[in-house]
Structure 1
């Protein structure tokens, strides 16, 4: 297919419709520096292009279709009719439209989802501002101080009351001896726990007297834990005393004699349960508000990423509107319209034919591996061999054949690009070098895809810092066919990335 003619030591490549894949993408990484299998990253431009070559051809008819099926809602032109009474339909003008109800709903839903995410972020920022978090934490410490104060008031009454119960005539040591060894065992246990609780109470009371609301958070937390421990000892001592009283009442012939003691101990049990609940709540409340500072930062970052995702979803939904409309890809004349209002238009079936109004096109063939990146309307920079690489022309993709074309055993798809302006320098048959812009992102961090590895369901990049190798968790964005990938979060300017990461199994 390629023929070479040697004339005066020059070689010429000629052939009709020859297309050469220059590259699957272009990675612009102006500030990356390779140093001993590492690169130092910084924000730069990330541009992805598909580069092909083709031939300039005379303007031809282009068949246009809807990308989705649906009921034709409006047809704006007739054959030979253009804008302002003339025959020419301008670039981008809508020629026909099918019912966009489903697409409109998708856009509305995406807008609602985005607004909801933004409101959630605003609410989180307002309710969990640093000022509010500090105030909530201070209140938690103040509440804890109040709970401890209330507990010590009752501790004093209960320690005295337990002593009185154990020294009543019918519950005294001599009475227990009368009822036998089991009664003595119950009383000895109750008395043992009483003295242990009394000792703990006196120690924690002495520490609490030195405490004030203005004491450090660390001292208040220590006091909360100590008070909670003392309250548990009180609960155990009360339970042991109740076991002793219950045994004596059951073993005696006069259980009513122990009613007053039972009532007293039941009251102490309820009181101590209330204090245990309050002190446990105070401990948890303080810990929760301390953790809220860290959790809030994570939640804000998570919502910010959610908002970005919702913005992308909304843009995708808006972009899909083009699937419901046929627009003029260039200035031209409508030569055929098969779309009729009220009829169902099949997807990808040509319904409108346009002829170019005097400009030239570029015909090229794109390999299967790259065709999915290209869409109708994509812009392109063009150079013509006749004028050199410094003379730029501009074009856009106007058609993509749905059926493949086998060329030299390779699956390709024919595309056509329309020059944006008439230019007398453009001649049919000229060789064109085309760079089709897929996306362009300014001021982002980009790395080779090979430096990214996955561990535990998360993506990481290894960096070198202070002679140490650190695994940094990252969030990735767009990628180019050449293997470069955008790092949305996780890396910063100046990070030294290891090109061949060592990942343990």
Structure 2
């Protein structure tokens, strides 16, 4: 029994040893299989932070100016105001353009009405009116032509009146000047017949007066009997004018007599005041001076009256003739209008009128475009940052008068190191 017990005990110990050895071999000598874990791949952002210093500014900034220059008449905004796109900011004075628009618009309406009339055709009552217009134009022309004749007749009568008055004045002036020479000669022969300087000066002045009034030369010391035989100079021209009554002869005589009177007055003034004349002689001398001076004024006035009458006549006749020409043009236009209405408009005329309408319309659009340039509007929504304009100030074309920044977004302006540029 005891032997059997020990035998079983050895077997149990052996089994334990074998188990421990097997376990040791399993843990120390077996091949280790690695454990694997699987995951699903996904796209993600890898963040890298770059720190820089910069400034924040509006994404849109606009400097505003007018396309055309002008005087500022209205200001609707100030610095700091928030505006929407299309808001009117400033306006230029548009009075001239507004008046011009009214003018071209009216011209357009006239041309369009003419085209509509052509396209519609002529109505019977329009032809009747056109015929009445022609009749009226003919009567107006006849009246104007009659008036021209009346004006011409009056001009001739007025001119003849001035020439008749001039002829009367010529006769009187020549006689007065001739008598003054006689008075001067009496004084000369009595006091200045020697060879003194005073006598020579008086003789020279008298010679010039005689030459202009009576003709001839070297008659400075001639007696009155000799003077009575002279019939040239202004005296002859005045006599010719009295005979022919021709305007040219009268005007020539007036000019010659005016010069002769001046020469006679100069000769009378040459008598020295120091000479001891008798009372009668002194009175006669002063009377002749006064008479000659008066005749000079008269002749000058007659010349002026003739010149003024010529201008008056020319103006009156020209005005009357202009009325005739205007009446003729009106008649031609009226007759053409009647013929046009009777015949109706041709295709070419309608086409030409359509072109006229288009041209008038283009003129209207052009002025409206100019008017649009007098208004400055905000192109974007934002805030006004500059507005220096004043009412009445002259704004030049393309010169900034206001600035605007957008409030829709902002951007950052900063310097980034070259090494970090790839990370931005």
Q: Shorter-chain TM-score category? A: 0.3 to 0.5
Q: Which has the higher contact order (CA 8 A, sep 6+)?
A: 2
Higher helix content, 1 or 2 = 2
TM-score, structure 2 normalization: 0.37
Hey, which of these two has a bigger chunk of strand by percent?
1
